């Protein structure tokens, strides 16, 4: 179990989620794109674990229109964005194995790190202390196999949950307006 409870934006978002009940008593993940980390929480908001992650090669918070209908060969470098936002997530399958579908229509999922292209050095990138080399995917979120199988799958397999992906260009308030509104009304 990791003791890292997150960056200030992660801690603030957890507080908003738990105060508002936005997770609907279900497990949730927070993806901090700037820190290139995934934080996994159970339904009560308890941090279960955290892991480094590989993210879309391009920076940005909004995916290009129609990205989910393109083949990987049709997704250029500038379009490889891990979108920001709040998503109802569920376990499912892609063409090869089980994945956590974050936004099926745009093809966004969280899955075990893909190691088919040795030239990308994805496992090495996950192991480095810097986040500069964690931008390599087509937009999906890649995590170590052990984190996926011992944390993500057990949290989401019995029930759906929510995934919150923090922005790197937009504001948190613009990305999660209902959570900001809930905090304003509670305060």
pLDDT in tens, 20-50: 999 999 999 999 999 999 999 999 999 999 9
Angle, vertex CA 127, rays to CA 79 and CA 29, nearest 5: 60
Tokens coding 5: 């409870």
Q: CA 137, CA 122: separation in Å to the nearest integer?
A: 9
pLDDT digit string, tens, across residues 104-144: 888 899 999 877 777 777 888 888 888 888 888 788 899 99
Angle, vertex CA 136, rays to CA 152 and CA 147, nearest 5: 20
- φ and ψ at residue 9, rounded to 5 degrees: -65, -35
Q: 11-21 burial, b for 16+ CB within 10 Å, e for fewer?
A: eebbebbeebe
Closest CA to 11 of 27, 30, 25, 24: 30
> What whole-number percentage of the chain has pLDDT above 90?
52
Q: Residue 114 is inside which H or E element, if any?
A: none
Collapsing DSSP to helix, strand or coil, 124 comes out as helix
pTM: 0.88
């Amino acid at each position: 179990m990791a003791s890292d409870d997150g960056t200030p934006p992660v801690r603030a978002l957890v507080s908003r989620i738990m105060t508002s009940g936005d997770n609907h008593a279900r497990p949730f993940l927070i993806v901090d794109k700037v820190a290139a980390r995934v934080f996994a929480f159970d339904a009560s908001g308890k941090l279960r674990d955290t892991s480094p992650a590989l993210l879309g090669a391009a920076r940005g918070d909004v995916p290009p229109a129609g990205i989910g209908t393109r083949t990987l060969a049709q997704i250029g470098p500038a379009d490889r964005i891990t979108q920001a936002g709040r998503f109802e997530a569920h376990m499912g399958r892609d063409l090869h194995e089980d994945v956590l579908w974050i936004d099926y229509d745009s093809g966004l999922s969280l899955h075990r790190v893909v190691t088919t292209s040795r030239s990308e050095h994805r496992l090495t990138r996950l192991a480095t202390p810097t986040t500069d080399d964690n931008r390599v995917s087509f937009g999906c979120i890649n995590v170590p196999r052990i984190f996926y199988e011992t944390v993500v799958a057990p949290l989401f397999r019995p029930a759906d949950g929510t995934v919150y992906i923090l922005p790197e260009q937009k504001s948190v308030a613009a990305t999660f307006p209902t959570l900001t509104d809930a905090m304003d009304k509670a305060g």
